[in-house]
Structure 1
Amino acid sequence: MAVLPFHYLADSPSDVLADGLVDEITSALSRVHEFHVIARQSAFALRDQRPDARTAARILGAEYLVEGTIRRSGERLRVGVSLLNAAGHTLWSDRFEDTVGDLFELQDRIATQVAGQLPGKVRAAEIACVDRDCTVTNESRALVLRALPHFWAHRCEENAKAIELLSRAIAVDAHDVRALAYKAWAVVQQPSYMWSEDAAADRAEAFCLASLAAERVEDDASALVAISAAHSMAVADSARALAFVRRALDLDPNNAWGRLRLGWALVYDGRPAEALVEFDRAKRLSPLDPFLFNMRIGAAGAQAELGNYDLAIRMIHEALMNTPGITWAYRLLASLYGRIGDVENATAAARKLLESHPGLTMEKLAASVPPAVAERNPAYLKGLRAAGIQ
């Protein structure tokens, strides 16, 4: 990827802001280890030539280009940013508006927003390329990319397909860190989302896969996030989950999934106020993220931990309205209604849960709850019993 010089759409006595923005965006993207970012000075050499995207990509040897424009009206600033592929097709564009104040703070704010959104757009483009049977020299990488849309679908059969593809990737390359880490995350979702036939076995497998990935991970922020997710849901060890995700965010502070998983790890560790800050950061970094529902449910759980039950309940209803397929969220909803003594709504939420998971018992429900929650928050299961689940 190359970040091309940004251009003012009006006469300006100085390109300090444009150059500073490019520097900040280049620096932020260079922390994302999913792609290589071409040095700033190479892209800057094209500033006066202003070649079209295809020519710029050929000269720089880039598969993706970031370009931008700046408009200023008084103290108002509008920055347009686009992501293009080497053929010159626009894959994503967005507009950021701000006020001119502290120049460095302004550059940092915009760079953070751009860097937070671009990796997901590149990932989507790579997945589309693999689906079109583009040439991918790394077979395990292609299988990992194919697995991601199934992983994001949040349905039992789709998660099983993701696990199958990730297993094939590991069979091709047993040392593929992302395949190991993402499979650990996908497997640990089975019990957490009540799709598992054997919760203990799935958690043990996820922990084993995450441990193997941890031995090889080095500086892959995305893999570290997945390892953290697996640890947080497989075992009652919040400290390890926090250590892995903080390491990921040291490498890539704008990793939205990292902020999401840090939020959940903090909830599991009994630090809900800190968790809310991270869920909010995750949403601002990736407002259309496939895990947006998880940010909402995580924030609801944090509010419940703070005793704000009515707010938490409203947030869960909003999440279910936006993502009806996350029927496991009725588990938390039934528990919260049970805790506040609202028998009618607790029973209704429990009924929804049982409709989606026929034959569900209190024993199976208890097994589905992450160990850290079961150990630290007995009120969770008590609320479910109050909802009438036997």
Structure 2
Amino acid sequence: MAVDLADCSVDARELQQAVQQGVATLPAAELHAVAALAGRGEFLEGLEVPRSPAFTDWLLAQRRHLRAAHALVLEHWVQALPTESDAALAARERWVALTPFDRRAHEQLLQALAARGRLREGEEHLAATARRFQAEGQDWGAIAHAWRAAKSRHAAGLGPAQGVVDGSAQAVVKDEPPAVPARRASIAVMPFADRTPGVPLRGGLGDGMAHDVITRLARLRSVFVIAEGTMFTLAERRVDSEDAGRRLDVDYVASGWLRRGPGARLAVGVQLAQTRSAQVVWAEEFSGSLDDTFSVLDEIGNRIVTAIANHIEEAERNRAILKNPNSLTAWEAHHRGLWHMFRFTREDNEQARQFFQTAVRLDPTFARPHAGLSFTHFQDAFLGWRERAPAIEHAYAAAAEGLIADAHDPASHWALGRAMWLMDRQQEAIRELQDAIELSPNFALGHYTLGFVHAQSGDAQLAITEVDQARALSPMDPLLFGMLASRALGLLRLGRYEEAADWALRSTARPNAHVHIRAIATYCLALAGRTREARETAATIQRLHPGYGLPEFGQAFKLGPELKELLGKAAASVA
């Protein structure tokens, strides 16, 4: 049975469509219409299916999602209305009623009350809000500060954003500097619900999985992670993920479930949502055998953490690229740099360097832009885009600055290890890369670069193991072409020429594979006896990079005697 809704107006569907299309682009009149639709009542209000937990769970989830979407529409509608209008005040009151722990909603309402001179109502609202927040263990200090500032502006006869006055409301002073946004994106990880029949919803594997994800994300140091104590307390109070995200004022919320099934199988589902847009950024299900409980939890935890970190970074890069370059914060400038850096062209590398320099200037204590800056200099030296010796010096200096800024950031040790590799300090480079991995076992680039170094002159089998770990952690990584090529070099040194050729060809098919990657494919194909393919690849290199040969390849890499001899034979066979 199906219902044709083509000619029907369905409030829930129109609300969802507005969110999917982007409420920020809707005019005030349309936001008003959507908000009116959403305010008619709860989704499927009054409908119940007795003794059907599956339906009840689905209904609660839909209601939570639609409430979050309704709050998003109200938030943007408020911003589109004149602060002094009655409609703006009514919208703010509805927003607070819908999301009673959203700090921004309270601040907006208090500003509107102060602008109208309704100070007594504002005081009463603040007192009630403080009691509610205290009862839930939430900090209401920022709301009180916003109310004091709003009262001061009213006392001075200024508009909502014109300025503030001192506590006596007698002397007007300059605007307060805008609050500096969080340096890192923030995330809250909800405890995982255990959906195994007959098992309590909380405790056991579900809480253990959440603890593991929180700990691993914190060790990556790329996002600000809310401590597990706060998350478990909210879960005990049955606060859902959308409400938790707004209470904690975080950018992202991760939530999930797990179920133990027949045959000792474990299934785990995870989703990552943006708090302010009410949109799911990523969702996936994982499964494994419970024959070795700790092993499967470790494997699934690795994949979850890396996926969350990668999708947050991608979302932040995409957000930063849309902003005016002159208005970027250090965090945004860093991600704008990453966006260009992962294009792997000379021009984008230069632009990436400028954005990283901006981020460093805005916040010298932020370690990640130093690592990015070091990467751009590494690329200059490795790909011959600038004079090699100065580029190596700059790569080392930027990495060292990152380590000073944050000695616990795995990216700082990774950048320093790469710079030391360029300087022929192989053992020191390996130690730095190992430190990066010890600081964060989920840091995929640390595993990859350790494999990259070993593939050329170290332990070939370890190189393959490390690269495979990097690929498992980040299967869609921008540097995947390098991972595949490093694996090919490891196989080549082990005498597995045919396998090496296949992996090398896979590396050349990846976006942004550079000339050195094509050279690796040429040499692997030649040693595998696939001379025709090797010559075709070599011809492509000459067409794109005339005069390129083994000397240029050897200058970029640190080849051990064994690999140098193999590549010499390969180059001779396709000359």
Q: TM-score, normalised by structure 1?
A: 0.88
Do residues 46 (structure 1) and 227 (structure 2) align?
no
Please give the alpha-carbon distance, in whole angstroms, between the structure 1 residues aligned to 2:525 and 2:274. Answer: 49
2: CA distance between counterparts of 1:46 and 1:352? Answer: 59
CA distance in 2, matches of 1:340, 1:55: 59
Residues 251-262 of structure 1 correspond to what in structure 2 (within 5 A)? 251-262=439-450
SS across alignment from 1:71: strand
2:287 aligned to which of 90, 93, 97? 97
User: What amino acid is the match of 1:12?
Assistant: G
Deviates more, 1:337-346 or 1:5-14: 337-346
- 1:298 equivalent in structure 2: 486
Q: Which residue of 2 aligns with 1:119?
A: 309
Q: Which residue identity does 2:388 align to in structure 1? A: A
How far 1:41 moved relative to its partner?
A: 2.2
Instruction: Tell me the equivalent position of 1:178.
Output: 368
1:341: how far off?
Answer: 7.0
With over 3 angstroms needed to count, the CA separation of the structure-2 counterparts of 1:48 and 1:263, relative to structure 1, is: same
1:227 aligned to 389, 411, 416, which one? 416
1:2 counterpart = 2:188: yes
Q: Does 1:79 align with 2:79?
A: no
For 1:10 and 1:213, the matched residues in 2 are separated by: 46
Partner residue of 1:288 out of 476, 493, 497: 476
Q: Is the 8 A contact 1:336 1:383 kept in 2?
A: no
8 Å CA contact 1:196–1:202 kept in 2: the answer is no
Aligned amino acid, residue 108 of structure 1: D
Q: 1:62/1:215 Cα in 2 relative to 1: closer, same or farther (>3 Å)?
A: closer
1:171, distance to aligned residue in structure 2 (A): 4.4
1:12 pairs, out of 198, 202, 215, with 198
**Of the candidates 247, 250, 262, which is equivalent to residue 438 of structure 2?**
250
Contact map agreement 2:457 2:560 (CA 8 A) in 1: no
**Residue 248 of structure 1, CA deviation:** 1.2
Report the alpha carbon displacement of residue 31 of structure 1 after superposing the two structures with TM: 1.4
Measured in 1, the distance between the counterparts of 2:288 and 2:265 equals: 6
Q: Relative to 1, partners in 2 of residues 1:377 and 1:11: Cα closer, same or farther, differing over 3 Å?
A: closer
Deviations 1:184-229 (A, max 9, x none): 222212343x352433442333233334434444111122222222
CA distance in 2 between counterparts of 1:145 and 1:297 reads 26
2:320 partner letter: V
* CA deviations over 1:255-312 (Å, ceiling 9, x no partner): 1111111111222442111111111111111112111111111111111121222211
| C-alpha distance in structure 2 between counterparts of 1:41 and 1:297, whole Å | 43
Amino acid at match of 1:3: V
Within 1, Cα distance between the matches of 2:498 and 2:424? 28
1:106/1:289 CA distance change after superposition, 3 Å: same
Q: Does 1:57 align with 2:245?
A: yes
Query: Could you tell me which residue of structure 2 aligns to residue 328 of structure 1?
Result: 516
Larger deviation: 373-382 or 182-191?
373-382
For 2:268 and 2:532, locate their aligned partners in 1 and report how far apart those are by CA, in whole Å.
Answer: 51
1:108 matched to which residue of 2?
Answer: 298
Q: Deviation per CA, 1:161-192: give whole Å up to 9, x if none.
A: 21232233344455653222222222212343
Determine which of 369, 372, 386 is the counterpart of 2:572: 386
- Using the alignment, how far apart are the partners of 1:11 and 1:335 within structure 2? 56
Counterpart check, 1:147 vs 2:337:
yes
Match among 523, 538, 548 for residue 350 of structure 1? 538
1:137 deviation in Å?
9.4
Shift of 1:95: 0.7
Change (3 A) 1:57 1:258: same
- The separation in 1 between residues aligned to 2:505 and 2:320, in whole angstroms, is 36
Work out the CA distance in 1 between the residues paired with 2:338 and 2:267. Answer: 34
Cα distance in structure 2, aligned partners of 1:309 and 1:184: 34
Partner amino acid, structure 2, of 1:262? L
Would the aligned equivalents of 2:460 and 2:490 in 1 still touch at CA under 8 Å? yes
Residue-pair matches, total: 385
Comparing 2-11 with 347-356, greater Cα deviation is found at 2-11
CA distance 1:197–1:376, change in 2 (3 Å) = farther
Q: CA deviation at 1:315?
A: 0.8
**d(CA) in 1 for partners of 2:365, 2:214:** 30
Distance 1:4 1:173, change over 3 A: closer
* Residue 375 to residue 167, structure 1, CA distance change in 2 (3 Å): farther
Provide the rounded CA distance (Å) in 2 between the counterparts of 1:275 and 1:236: 18
For the structure 1 residues 202 and 135, does the alpha-carbon distance in structure 2 shift closer, same or farther, using more than 3 Å as the test? closer
Provide the residue aligned with 2:218 in structure 1: 30
Alignment of 1:204-223 (within 5 A): 204-223=393-412
How far 1:152 moved relative to its partner?
A: 1.3
SS state at 2:225 partner? coil
Asked if 2 retains the 8 angstrom alpha-carbon contact of 1:42 and 1:60, the reply is no
Contact 1:65–1:83 (8 Å) recurs in 2: yes
Give the deviation of 1:64 after TM superposition: 1.7
Q: Return the alpha-carbon distance in structure 2 between the equivalents of residues 16 and 136 of structure 1.
A: 49
Greater shift after overlay, 63-72 or 129-138? 129-138
Q: Distance in 2 between matches of 1:375 and 1:163?
A: 35
Note closer, same or farther for the CA distance 1:343–1:139 as it changes in structure 2 (3 Å cut).
same
Q: Against the structure 1 CA distance between its residues 304 and 23, is the aligned structure 2 distance closer, same or farther, given a 3 Å change threshold? A: same
CA separation of 1:11/1:147 partners in 2, compared to 1, >3 Å: closer, same or farther?
A: same
Task: Answer whether contact 1:20 1:107 (CA < 8 A) is retained.
Answer: no
Q: How does 1:124-143 map to 2 (within 5 A)?
A: 124-133=314-323, 139-143=329-333
171-180 or 83-92: bigger deviation: 171-180
* 2:569 aligned with 1:373: no
DSSP 3-state at the match of 1:90:
strand
CA distance in 2, matches of 1:133, 1:148: 14
Aligned equivalents of 2:376 and 2:440: distance in 1? 22
Amino acid at match of 1:218: A
Structure label with greater radius of gyration:
2
Query: For the Cα contact (< 8 Å) 1:64–1:86, is it kept in 2?
Result: yes
Which whole-Å CA distance do the structure 1 matches of 2:424 and 2:339 have between them?
A: 29
Distance 1:126 1:185 in 2: 19
* Aligned amino acid, residue 6 of structure 1: F
SS in 1 for 2:268: strand
